[in-house]
Structure 1
């Protein structure tokens, strides 16, 4: 599959930003997908956020841009995440994703072509996250903000989109029920939780019921 064919295929499976309507954008995916017994809060009370699911278009195959959160942050310390954060009032999800990527890893928005949106994702911490998929020019450079990001790295797209690498794991929550989640360990990186859940959402959006891509 050529770069142009891959772009066309991915874009065709996403929700166009031109059709985005925040009043109708209730999250359809969530941390509760693998935990149906947990309580689901009112989606209208969720705090809006967005992340950039960035595909770096290298000649030898695309990668997905990820970060490891700083060890000094108050929440989700050291976890693997997409660049992203809370939406400012009146800000679009793609505006948030590009702004946060610039603040967190120094990614120039001029190097990103927004392709579209995935279904909104509800986190157990009370956020409605809109994953914004974008194509990143491989000439882009990254400079992590030390206050927010300990490391920035790229993981092969083909690895993350291979369902054989989509593990289902669980952890015991003190005083609560066992929590199940997706995990996609890659080398020494443990990609799990909402980040892995959104990657699984991307996989589901890209593949038909047979699980085959257009190149197969």
Structure 2
């Protein structure tokens, strides 16, 4: 298993966790696939998500959640643990806190490796992806008020661009809205979550002469 290869790549390609600043600007957004949409002038609300990469004997997996069906927004969608930053928090602190609140993931078993590109959502959040490293599958318990299900998806599936597709929906008014999607078995990973994963692929492997071979080596 080449967990050392993956770890070295993450450390080399991601920004250090301690480099986070509230002044960071969005590098990716929901508008990337929808340039014709009007992008409002606004102050974005800071948020963070934790991308927990878990080492297994047969390769790395990524912990994800399905949001509760009782939530007021984004009901039932696939997501990473995460949410808004509390006053005075860093992105890393918020990601660990939210993961503990949502799925009881013990912060002590997560090593924060680095930061992905800040992502602007159509709903006005600036989301910082925080990548965490777990040497063994953790004990988790979903909070029923927020999370309907916790599951793991293979790293090699998520990092294979053959599984990345552009989907769309047609709103009642306005132009067609495009988004990234990565359907995995019966679960439909899409929107911000898929967009963050797509950007992570490009950040880690996009400049490789053979990106699939590099990703396969990391997942072996």
TM range (shorter): over 0.9
Report the equivalent of 1:137. Answer: 135
The count of aligned residue pairs is 214
Secondary structure of the residue that 1:138 maps to in structure 2?
A: coil
Q: How do 1:9-20 residues align onto structure 2 when only pairs under 5 Å count?
A: 9-20=9-20
Report the equivalent of 1:4. Answer: 4
1:118 positional shift:
0.5
Change (3 A) 1:11 1:42: farther
Instruction: Give TM-score scaled by structure 2 length.
Output: 0.93
Secondary structure of the residue that 1:22 maps to in structure 2?
A: coil
For residues 55-88 of structure 1, give each alpha carbon's deviation from its aligned partner in whole angstroms, at most 9, with x where no partner exists. 0111210111110000000000000000000000
1:211 positional shift:
4.8
Q: Check the 8 A contact 2:54/2:137 in 1, yes or no.
A: no
Report the equivalent of 2:101. Answer: 103
Give me the whole-angstrom Cα distance separating, in 2, the residues matched to 1:14 and 1:175. Answer: 39
Report the equivalent of 1:27. Answer: 26
Report the equivalent of 2:38. Answer: 39
Secondary structure of the residue that 1:169 maps to in structure 2?
A: strand
Give me the whole-angstrom Cα distance separating, in 2, the residues matched to 1:59 and 1:16. Answer: 27
1:201 positional shift:
1.0
Q: Provide the aligned C-alpha RMSD in A.
A: 1.4
1:150 positional shift:
0.2
Secondary structure of the residue that 2:108 maps to in structure 1?
A: helix
Unaligned runs of 5+ in 2: none
Report the equivalent of 1:73. Answer: 71
Unaligned runs of 5+ in 1: none
Give me the whole-angstrom Cα distance separating, in 2, the residues matched to 1:171 and 1:139. Answer: 36
Q: Check the 8 A contact 2:17/2:114 in 1, yes or no.
A: yes
Report the equivalent of 1:84. Answer: 82
1:21 positional shift:
2.5
Report the equivalent of 2:57. Answer: 59
Secondary structure of the residue that 1:18 maps to in structure 2?
A: helix
Q: Check the 8 A contact 2:55/2:137 in 1, yes or no.
A: no
Instruction: Give TM-score scaled by structure 1 length.
Output: 0.95
Query: Is 1:115 the equivalent of 2:87?
Result: no
Report the equivalent of 2:174. Answer: 176
Give me the whole-angstrom Cα distance separating, in 2, the residues matched to 1:54 and 1:177. Answer: 35
Q: How do 1:189-200 residues align onto structure 2 when only pairs under 5 Å count?
A: 189-200=187-198
